[in-house]
Amino acid sequence: MSEMSATRKIVVIMTDTQRTDMLGCYGNAGMKTPCLDSLASEGIRFDRAHTCQPVCGPARSAIFTGTYPHSNGSWGNTMALGDNVKTVGQRLRDNGFHTAYMGKWHLDGGDYFGLGRCPDGWDDDYWYDMRRYLEELTPEERVRSRKVATNREGIDESFTFGHRVSDRAIDFLEKFNDEDFLLVVSYDEPHGPHLCPRPYCDMYRDYEFPKSPNVRDTLEGKPEHHRVWASPGRLAEDKDALKVMSPDFFGCNSFVDYEIGRVVDAVDEFARDALVIYTSDHGAMLSSHCLGGKGPAMYEEITRIPFIVRWPGVSPAGSVCAHPVSHIDLVPTIMDAASLPIPKLLEGGSMLGTLADPSVRTNEVVFIEFTRYEIDHDGFGGFQPVRAAFDGRYKLAVNLMTSDELYDLESDPHEMKNLIGSAEHAGIRDGLHDRILGWMNRTRDPFRGYYWERRPWRTDAREATWDYTGFTRQRENEEYELRQLNYGTGLEMKEAQRPK
């Protein structure tokens, strides 16, 4: 990249559980998000951005390591990153950046709130996970902070986690704006319990979220685990009478927009030329396809996420990118933007060309996965491994334990008609399938094997063999590890990806 487009000041802002249509700039005028709408007007709004896994921890693992959940070990909530996995904080810290992280982390293997300990790579003076927040509260305040009913009590914004996160981010920008820095501001909001002060908690009392046509999905021809997830009660629900209403959730959504605005105002005051990246970890079903929350499905409601980039002098203001992009590309993009070499270990690519010209396509296909929601209980379907590919129009989801899906989002944007058995679409389906199998090999997916290839609709699948492809890939984490040795020779590997 040219020196003209290099930056040594980078701000990453993220939320938890925020659909694209929970932002006004993505077309829902009923959602009041003026700060994010303004950010989009000053940069690029990405219309086909996708998470790597629609679950909090695994999504973050890809965002902050540049490797997929199946590669970094955090493929379910409460599963810590592998000991040899390096975050973008460590990588930039080791290249002279002041790196600070405040907000939800969810990557230390602890409970929802975290361990309260600053991971290597980040400034401990600014580290502020949810456990540190709770430790500032009395026992009574802790309980209040976890109940949505607290909103009715008329709390002050200073009581919320989000406000305290913003305060620390603003303090960092004021004190260290003359340094090279990476600042991550990670809100738990609008995730439950949706804590927010007035007027936000009262703004949406009578608001009905627009019902997508797919609330009427009968799930006929869909995977069994979707129907189990939906339950007979939801499937039988009167869809005419259904009202998608969640006033505290939507109020908290507008509240976190306000908090983001406070941080962006500080960026404007202290580091106006900084590269600002905003996104969310995943969405929420909100009764689409008769489902709630998030989990083992590849529907757009939970896999497509808001993604906005503002980079003064580089990214054209008020522009839109219609090409598919992925969270997996964030770390290589940050490193490239900072004029740092992109490590071989990273599994995405730099989006720098797209940031300068949104018509430039970074990815032919983006990949999404699911393996498990959590490991400490089975309240979310247990082990449901899914691997998916999306090319900007067609999406293929291979659901290992049940049946598979193919959707044409151009003719069927609400993903109602499963085309997996369509002879007319067999070539497209099989091509995406080949891409998934190749991706699983390249990224050392520990769950790969012949069973992903031998699907009922894949008539040219190879016979099952114990060796399958015989493919191997050794780690190339050369910035932090000795180069690995070839099993057959004991010498340093030359080709990391090869038959074994």
pTM comes to: 0.97
Q: Which residues are within 8 A (CB) of 66 and not within 5 positions of it... i.e. 6 or more apart?
A: 88, 328, 330, 331, 332, 343, 345, 346, 347, 348
Residue 390 maps to a domain: no
* Amino acid letter, 389: A
Residue 35 maps to a domain: yes
Identify the CATH number of the domain in which residue 320 sits: 3.40.720.10
- Chain centroid to Cα 118, Å, comes to 22
Single residue among 364, 398, 431 that ends a domain in this structure:
364
Single residue among 333, 364, 395 that ends a domain in this structure:
364
Distance CA 264, CA 277 (A): 11
Distance CA 436, CA 442 (A): 10
Tell me, yes or no, whether 352 and 491 share the same domain: no
Distance CA 184, CA 165 (A): 10
Q: What are phi and psi of 331, to 5 degrees?
A: -65, -50
SS3 of 297, please?
coil
Catalytic pick from 50, 70, 98, 106?
106
Report the alpha-carbon angle 373-379-384, nearest 5.
Answer: 45
Residue 330 maps to a domain: yes
Single residue among 349, 364, 379 that ends a domain in this structure:
364
Q: Are 264 and 270 in contact (CB under 8 A)?
A: no
Tell me, yes or no, whether 357 and 485 share the same domain: no
Q: Are 399 and 299 in contact (CB under 8 A)?
A: no
Residue 208 maps to a domain: yes
Length of the chain equals 500
Residue 5: predicted pLDDT:
60
CB-neighbour burial class of residue 196 (10 A; exposed 0-12, middle 13-18, buried 19+): buried
Residue 72 maps to a domain: yes
> Per-residue pLDDT for the chain (500 aa), expressed as one digit of tens each?
444 467 899 999 999 999 999 999 999 999 999 999 999 999 999 999 999 999 999 999 999 999 999 999 999 999 999 999 999 999 999 999 999 999 999 999 999 999 999 999 999 999 999 999 999 999 999 999 999 999 999 999 999 999 999 999 999 999 999 999 999 999 999 999 999 999 999 999 999 999 999 999 999 999 999 999 998 888 999 999 999 999 999 999 999 999 999 999 999 999 999 999 999 999 999 999 999 999 999 999 999 999 999 999 999 999 999 999 999 999 999 999 999 999 999 999 999 999 999 999 999 999 999 999 998 877 889 999 999 999 999 999 999 999 999 999 999 999 999 999 999 999 999 999 999 999 999 999 999 999 999 999 999 999 999 999 998 889 999 999 999 999 889 999 999 988 87
Residue 97: predicted pLDDT:
98
Catalytic residue status for 196: no
Helix residue spans in 307-386 (DSSP H): 330-337, 352-356
Distance CA 58, CA 54 (A): 8
Could you list the beta-strand ranges (E) of 300-447.
Answer: 307-310, 319-326, 366-372, 383-390, 394-399, 405-408
Residue 186 maps to a domain: yes
Catalytic residue status for 106: yes
HSE value, Cβ hemisphere, 13 Å, CA-based, for 445 = 22
Catalytic pick from 35, 56, 201, 321?
56
Distance CA 438, CA 448 (A): 10
Total tally of structural domains belonging to the chain? 2
Residue 456 maps to a domain: no
Range of the domain at 124: 3-364
Residue 371 maps to a domain: no
Residue 1: predicted pLDDT:
42
With b meaning 16 or more CB within 10 Å and e meaning fewer, what string describes 131-147?
Answer: bbbbeeeeeeeeebbee
Cα maximum dimension of the chain: 70
Tell me, yes or no, whether 342 and 207 share the same domain: yes
